[in-house]
Chains A and B, each alone.
Chain A
Amino acid sequence: MTSNENAQRDSRPTEIFNRFRSATRGINTVVFPTILCVILLSLFSDKFFTVENQLNIVRSASVAMIVGVGQVFVISARQIDLSVGSVLGLTACLTGFLVFDGVPIILCFFFALAVGFVLGLINGLIVGYLKVPALLGTLGMLVLVRGTVQELMYGTYHVRFPAEFVVLGQGDTLGVPNLVWVAACVVIVGHFVLTRLEYGRFILAIGGNAEAARIAGIKVRKYIIISFIVQAVLVALAAFLLMGRMNSAHPTLGQGLELHIIAGVILGGTSLFGGVGKVWGMAIAMYLIAVLENGLLLAGAGFFWQQILLGFLLITSVAIQIYRSKSGKIDM
Chain B
Amino acid sequence: MPQQMTTPTLELRNIAKHFGAIKAVDGVSFTVESGECVGLIGDNGAGKSTLVKVVSGFHPQTSGQLLVQGKEVTFSSPTDARNSKIETVYQNLALVEQLDVAANFFLGRELHTNWGRIIRYLDKGAMKKRARAELDRIGISIPDMNAIVSELSGGQRQSIAISRSIFWGSQCLVLDEPTASLGVNETASVAELIERVVASGVSVLIVAHDIDLIIQLCTKIVVLRQGIVWSELNASDVTAADLVHHITGTQRAA
Most buried by B among A15, A209, A331: A209
Q: Nearest residue in B to A273 (C-beta to C-beta)? A: B98
Segment with Cβ contacts to B, from A170-178, A213-221, A305-313? A213-221
Contacting A201 at CB < 8 Å: which of B110, B141, B144, B147? Answer: B110
Q: Which of B117-125, B178-186, B225-233, B235-243 lies on the face that meets chain A?
A: B117-125
A215 & B122 in contact (Cβ 8 Å cutoff): no
Does B96 interact with chain A (Cβ within 8 Å)? yes
A199 within 8 A of B: yes
Q: Mark A166-199, 1 if CB is under 8 A from B, else 0.
A: 0000000000000000000000000000001111
Which residue of chain A is the closest to B95 with respect to CB atoms?
A212
Known pairs A18-B146, A22-B146; A196 contacts B98 (CB<8 A): no
A205 to B100, CA, bound (A): 11
Task: Kindly state whether residue B143 has any CB partner on chain A within 8 Å.
Answer: yes
B78 within 8 Å of A (CB atoms):
yes
Q: Which of A14, A18, A212 contacts B93 (CB 8 A)?
A: A212
Cβ-defined contact, A198 with B120, below 8 A? yes
Asked if A98 CB lies within 8 Å of chain B CBs, one says no
CB–CB B94/A197 < 8 A? no
Interface of A is mostly: helix
Chain B nearest CB, measured from A6 CB (Å): 12
The chain A residue with its CB closest to the CB of B132 is A8
Cβ 8 A contact of B79, one of A15, A208, A213, A217: A217
Contacting pair B122 A198 (CB below 8 A): yes
- A-contact bits for B94-132, CB 8 A (1 contact / 0 none): 111111100100011110100000011110100000000
Cross-chain pair count, CB within 8 angstroms: 89
Contact flags (1/0) for B73-106 with A, using CB distance below 8 Å?
Answer: 0000011001000001010011111111001000
For residue A244, CB closer than 8 A to chain B, the reply is no
- The CA of A276 and the CA of B103, in the complex, are separated in Å by 13
Q: How far does the Cβ of B143 sit from chain A's closest Cβ, in whole Å?
A: 6
Q: Which residues of B contact A197 (CB under 8 A)?
A: 119-122
Q: Which of B90, B107, B122 contacts A213 (CB 8 A)?
A: B107
0/1 interface trace, chain A 1-16, chain B, CB 8 Å (1 if under)? 0001001000100110
List chain B positions with a Cβ less than 8 A from chain A: 78-79, 82, 88, 90, 93-100, 103, 107-110, 112, 119-122, 124, 136, 141, 143-144, 146-148, 150
User: Which residues of A pack against B, CB within 8 Å?
Assistant: 4, 7, 11, 14-15, 18-19, 22, 196-199, 201, 204-205, 207-209, 211-218, 271, 274-276, 328, 330-331
